[in-house]
Structure 1
């Protein structure tokens, strides 16, 4: 099990991050939350990824709007999460991501995110030079900056049944970034990697996880 630590961004903002894994691990990951905060599910993901030999930090990016946010996967949770997301400037999100990466330096560090975090992981590849690899799981905002130049290898994962991220958006990303491996999971919906959601798809989650771990193993050297 990990613990909550406090980090400081370059603008002086102090925020929490869930820390898991050996502090002396040779490789590191930044795990970025969904719109539900660094809740039990995100902590479990961080612990799980740490078990593969990574030092893992999951920054509480909602701390800029409200601290100690842990939302449920309900309509009310979605509504509150969207409100919090809208209250935080993208540039400030990146200040927190950069501070998290700096805490893990000089280890080779990757970034992986889910839902909103999947989009932020994309920003980690396109708005930062702190990462050696980036992976986004069902990041709905990626298409908005699909032509942005990337600074590190990227891998993306989407569910074929995800109504919030239509396959036309996924195809547009693939067309704009033909060198990026983009995986589409048949029968999988948004949030297929979250066992706290009704949309959890064990088969798609396992395959996407295996691909993600192999990608990091290849590039975080």
Structure 2
């Protein structure tokens, strides 16, 4: 269903993006923001899934600034490389790349939502709070297990936000969730009992929690339809 295209960020950087188009005219657009493992098969499946739900969907390759075409696995040397790249990431640059994707889907003339996972979830939040500095004002944002969100929790989002966390997530402390709740009581936050980090990652059995993933996706889909369709 999907295909690759090229985007150009405001600073001239060219990056790849995976795009999927629905079979019927789109009811809205969704920007999917990757984990730290690149635009791998899992991320592409998420893009394709939302396209089947009627959205024009794009996932910008946020690692292209460091190494092009990365598709990493979740163990061994690939995992080590992912964490090495994570240490180099700079939200100011990633937001430029997301803005290029935003400009691409904006041409469809539909509402725009952002859905991110892990580091992409963190960037989803920043797209809501800092996006206007980069020419973005999404209609809604969803973040799955957005690690690091606590340190930017007081930033003010410009649109409705939904956040999903696993109750057993050892990467994200309860203090981060509480920081968002305290600063923004209107943000929709869901905690999934028995689920850990990356519980939506269905290609990785050690992380995947089918019940949590299904419920979170249903909530996300309804949220997107409410705000961008």
TM-score for the superposition, normalised by structure 1 = 0.96
For 2:14, the equivalent position in structure 1 comes to 14
- Give 1:195 deviation, angstroms: 1.1
Query: How many residues get paired?
Result: 221
SS of 2:191 mapped into structure 1: strand
Distance (whole Å) between structure 1 residues aligned to residue 11 and residue 171 of structure 2: 33
- Mapped pair 1:125 → 2:122: no
C-alpha contact (below 8 Å) 1:66/1:84 kept by paired residues: no
SS of 1:5 mapped into structure 2: strand
Distance (whole Å) between structure 2 residues aligned to residue 202 and residue 211 of structure 1: 14
C-alpha contact (below 8 Å) 1:64/1:88 kept by paired residues: no
Match of 2:175 among 168, 171, 186: 168
C-alpha contact (below 8 Å) 1:126/1:151 kept by paired residues: yes
C-alpha contact (below 8 Å) 1:20/1:50 kept by paired residues: yes
Between 1:161-170 and 1:39-48, the stretch displaced more is 161-170
Match of 1:114 among 117, 127, 131: 117
- Give 1:196 deviation, angstroms: 2.0
Between 1:56-65 and 1:172-181, the stretch displaced more is 172-181
- Mapped pair 1:207 → 2:215: yes
SS of 2:30 mapped into structure 1: strand
Distance (whole Å) between structure 2 residues aligned to residue 10 and residue 182 of structure 1: 33
- Mapped pair 1:82 → 2:89: no
TM-score for the superposition, normalised by structure 2 = 0.93
C-alpha contact (below 8 Å) 2:164/2:190 kept by paired residues: yes
C-alpha contact (below 8 Å) 2:167/2:192 kept by paired residues: yes
Q: CA RMSD in A?
A: 1.2
- Give 1:30 deviation, angstroms: 0.2
Distance (whole Å) between structure 2 residues aligned to residue 123 and residue 76 of structure 1: 29
Task: Provide Cα deviations, 1:177-212, integer angstroms capped at 9, x if missing partner.
Answer: 111010000000001000122120000000000000
C-alpha contact (below 8 Å) 1:154/1:180 kept by paired residues: yes
C-alpha contact (below 8 Å) 1:20/1:47 kept by paired residues: yes
For 2:225, the equivalent position in structure 1 comes to 217
Distance (whole Å) between structure 2 residues aligned to residue 8 and residue 80 of structure 1: 25
- Give 1:151 deviation, angstroms: 0.5
Any unmatched runs of 5+ in structure 1? none
C-alpha contact (below 8 Å) 1:18/1:57 kept by paired residues: yes
SS of 2:46 mapped into structure 1: helix
For 2:71, the equivalent position in structure 1 comes to 70
SS of 1:10 mapped into structure 2: coil
- Give 1:144 deviation, angstroms: 1.2
